[in-house]
Amino acid sequence: MIDPRILRDDPDRVRASQRKRGASESAVDDALAADKARREAIATFENLRAEQKKMGKQVAQAKGEEKAALLAQVKELAAAVKEAEAAQVVAEESWATALKAIPNLTAEETPAGGEDDFVLIETVGEIPTFDFEPRDHVELGRMLGAIDLERGAKVSGSRFYFLTGVGAELEFALINLAMEQAREAGFTQVIAPALVRPEAMAGTGFLDQVDDGVYRIEGDDLYLVGTSEVPMAAYHSDEILDAASLPLRYAAFSSCFRKEAGSAGKDTKGIIRVHQFEKVEMFVYTTLEESYAEHARLLAWEKAFLDKLELAYRVIDVAAGDLGPSAARKFDCEAWIPTQGKYRELTSASNCTEFQARRLDIRQRASTGSTTGTATAPVATLNGTLTAITRAIVAILETHQQADGSIRVPKALQKWLGREVLTPIAG
RNA sequence: GGAGACGUCGCCUAGUCCGGUCUAUGGCGCCUCACUGCUAAUGAGGUUUGGGUUAACAGCCCAUCGAGGGUUCAAAUCCCUCCGUCUCCGCCA
C-alpha cells in the first residue's frame, strides 16, 4: 500500500499517478475521506477509553456503597466504549480497503499509458537470419526429443508439457548457469515454497488475481505461487531488519503456477504460455534511496544472463497502465523469437519501492541506536527474473537452430550441458 | 492423523492457579553520559512496536504479553477458535 502520509499531505501526487496508470482518481478522494473518518473514530474511542481506565482504578480502590455507585456509573461508560471501539474497527477497515485500492505511485520516469505506450530503452544483439526456413520451438523440441506436448496434455491438460532428454538437461543447465551468476554477484541462493498462505499472496498484490491467475488449493487456505517473488517478499514479513544488513539479495528457485484464465486463445502452441514452469528470481530488500540504483543493477544482471545465452533482445520501460499494482517502475527484457517475428518477454525487473513492504510490514532500523530511540522505516523491495525456463528454452532453440534441426549451444551453457551441439533424434 | 506441553516489549526470564496496586519483574545485550593515558572495569540513566493529537523525533493520550473472538465495571491472568514451536505415538518420501 502507499504511504498514508503522502496521501494526506500531497493527494495531488497520488492523483497524478492514478492518471498515468489510467486508474481511478476518485479512489484518492475515497481514501482521503476514509482517513478522516478513521481519525475521528479513533479520537472518540480513545477519549472514552481513557475515562474508563481512570474510573476503573477508582473502582478497584473503592469499598462498599461507594463502589456499588461507581460500578453502576462505569457500566454505562463500558457500553459506550464498546460501541466506539466497534465504530473504530469499522472505520479502520474501510480505510484499509480504500488505501489498498490505490496501486503504487509510479516513478517519474515511468511512461504514461497502457501496454503499447512503453519506451524502448535499447536493442541488444543482432536479429538472427537464416538461409533456410526456421522451425518453431515446438517442431525443434519434438525433433530433439526435448519437449513432449502431447503427453503433457494427456496427463495434465492443455498448457502442460514434459521436458525430456536434452529438454530436461537444458533446464538444469540454465538453472546452474543462473545460480552460478547469482552466487558470483553475492546473492544468497534459496529454494522457496511454491504454496503460500493468503497473507503472502495479498502482501505482494496478487490475491486480486485469484480468479483468473492464481491457483487456490481446495480445502486448505493455500495458494500456488505464480512467481517466487511471493514467498521471497513474505520471507521477511513482520520483521525489522538491521539497516546495516541491507541490501539483502536472494536468488530463489521455485516452480511457478499460472491459471492463464484471461488468456484463452493466446499462445496456445508450445511452451510460451504454460500453467507450470520453473524460474530463478532475484529478490532484493534495500532502502528506498538505494532502490533506484539497485533496479538498474537488476536490469544489468538480467542483460548479462541474456548475453550469455547469446540472444537478441530489447529492453523496454513498461508504461504505467501495464505495471501491476506493486511496481513503481518496470523494465522488461524481450528476446527475439524468429518464427514469431517479434520480441517476447523473457525477464522483467520491478522496483516495488515501499509498496509491498508496507503491506507485509517489513521495516529497517538504523543499527546505531541513540537514547532518543531509533526510527524505523519501510524497506524497498525489488524483483527481477534471472531466468524463466520455458521462455528461455524457446528463445535458445529458435535462435540457435541450424538447417538440420540441430542447436548450437551458447558457450556459457556448454559447461553445464556438456556438449556444443544438440542433435535431433527424430526427423 | 492421535496425545500432551508451551508461546511475555532483541535474547533469557518473573507474573497466569486465586482478574484490579502490571504504568509487565530481573538478568544479558545494546545506547548515552560520568570516571579513568586508551580499552576494560565501575557507576547513573535509557532501551517493544504501532497509532492519535501536535510546528515538533517535546509533552499528553490509546492500543500492543503469538493472532482473533468472548466473559467482566476491569483480562498477560478466565473461556473459545486459529497459528506456531517442542515431545511422544501412528503413517510416509
* A227 & A315 share domain: yes
How many domains in chain A?
2
* A54 & A188 share domain: no
CA of A220 to C1' of B89 (A): 25
Q: Three-state secondary structure along chain A?
A: CCCHHHHHHCHHHHHHHHHHHCCCCHHHHHHHHHHHHHHHHHHHHHHHHHHHHHHHHHHHHCCHHHHHHHHHHHHHHHHHHHHHHHHHHHHHHHHHHHHHCCCCCCCCCCCCCCHHHCEEEEEECCCCCCCCCCCCHHHHHHHHCCEEHHHHHHHHCCCCCEECCHHHHHHHHHHHHHHHHHHHCCCEEEECCCEECHHHHHHCCCHHHCCCCCEEECCCCEEECCCCHHHHHHCCCCEEEEHHHCCEEEEEEEEEECCCHHHCCCCCCCCCCCCEEEEEEEEEEECHHHHHHHHHHHHHHHHHHHHHCCCCEEEEECCHHHCCCCCCEEEEEEEEECCCCEEEEEEEEEECCCHHHHHHCEEEECCCCCCCCCCEEECEEEEEEEEEHHHHHHHHHHHCECCCCCEECCHHHHHHHCCCEECCCCC
What was the pLDDT predicted at A367? 52
Residue A268 inside a domain? The answer is yes
Residue A108 inside a domain? The answer is no
The nucleotide minimizing the C1' distance to residue A89's CA is B63
CA of A197 to C1' of B88 (A): 29
Peptide bond into A247 cis (omega under 30): yes
The nucleotide minimizing the C1' distance to residue A375's CA is B57
Residue A60 inside a domain? The answer is yes
* A75 & A140 share domain: no
Active-site residue among A21, A135, A142, A258?
Answer: A258
Residue A355 CA to residue A250 CA, distance in Å, equals: 19
* A143 & A284 share domain: yes
pLDDT category at A369 given cuts 50, 70, 90 is: very low
**CATH number, domain with residue A63:** 1.10.287.40
Q: Please indicate whether residue A314 is annotated as part of the active site.
A: no
Q: Which residues have CB under 7 A from strand B?
A: A 4, 39, 42-43, 45-47, 49-50, 52-53, 55-56, 59-60, 71, 74-75, 77-78, 81-82, 89, 240, 363, 365, 368-376
Q: Which residues pair with A252 in a beta bridge?
A: A190, A281
What was the pLDDT predicted at A106? 96
Nearest-10 Cα torsion for A410, A412, A417, A421: 20
Q: What are the cell numbers at A142?
A: 519434438
Residue A101's alpha-carbon distances to A84, A205, A409, in angstroms, are: 26, 10, 47
* A119-124: strand order across its sheet: A119-124, A313-317, A329-337, A342-351, A380-388, A276-286, A248-257, A188-191
Active-site residue among A49, A51, A345, A365?
Answer: A345
CA angle (A120 as vertex; A116, A125 as ends), nearest 5: 125
Residue A364's alpha-carbon distances to A85, A248, A297, A369, A383, in angstroms, are: 31, 12, 21, 12, 18
Residue A110 inside a domain? The answer is no
- % of chain A exceeding 70 in pLDDT: 97
Active-site residue among A348, A350, A359, A363?
Answer: A348
Full residue range of the structural domain in which residue A192 is found:
115-422
CA of A228 to C1' of B49 (A): 29
Report pLDDT digits (tens) over A298-349. 999 999 999 999 999 999 999 999 998 999 999 999 999 999 999 999 999 9
Q: Please indicate whether residue A348 is annotated as part of the active site.
A: yes
CA of A31 to C1' of B73 (A): 37
Say yes or no to pLDDT of A64 above 80.
no
Among A22-26, A71-75, A423-427, the range with the most confident prediction by mean pLDDT is A22-26
pLDDT category at A23 given cuts 50, 70, 90 is: very high
Weakest mean pLDDT among A54-68, A265-279, A357-371, A412-426 = A357-371
Residue A62 inside a domain? The answer is yes
pLDDT category at A366 given cuts 50, 70, 90 is: low
Say yes or no to pLDDT of A170 above 90.
yes
* A395 & A279 share domain: yes
Any idea which residue has 527475439 for its cell?
A: A336
Report pLDDT digits (tens) over A175-207. 999 999 999 999 999 999 999 988 888 888 887
Report pLDDT digits (tens) over A256-294. 999 988 888 888 889 999 999 999 999 999 999 999 999
Say yes or no to pLDDT of A427 above 80.
no
pLDDT category at A372 given cuts 50, 70, 90 is: very low
Report pLDDT digits (tens) over A237-247. 988 888 888 89
Q: Which of A71, A100, A129 is the last residue of a domain?
A: A100
* A142 & A291 share domain: yes
Q: Please indicate whether residue A273 is annotated as part of the active site.
A: yes
* A40 & A179 share domain: no
> What average pLDDT does range A109-113 have in this prediction?
95
What was the pLDDT predicted at A156? 93
Say yes or no to pLDDT of A373 above 50.
no
**CATH number, domain with residue A170:** 3.30.930.10
The nucleotide minimizing the C1' distance to residue A61's CA is B20
Q: What are the cell numbers at A52?
A: 474508563
Query: What nucleotides of chain B have any atom within 7 angstroms of a protein Cβ?
Result: 20-21, 30-32, 45-53, 57, 61-63, 69, 73-74
Q: Which of A100, A123, A143 is the last residue of a domain?
A: A100
Weakest mean pLDDT among A142-151, A159-168, A374-383 = A374-383
Active-site residue among A254, A310, A391, A398?
Answer: A391
* A380 & A281 share domain: yes
Report pLDDT digits (tens) over A206-237. 877 766 788 988 777 889 999 999 999 999 99
* A268 & A325 share domain: yes
Residue A107 inside a domain? The answer is no
What was the pLDDT predicted at A245? 85
How does the average pLDDT of chain A come out, rounded?
91
- How many CB atoms neighbour CB A377 within 10 A? 15
Residue A8 inside a domain? The answer is yes
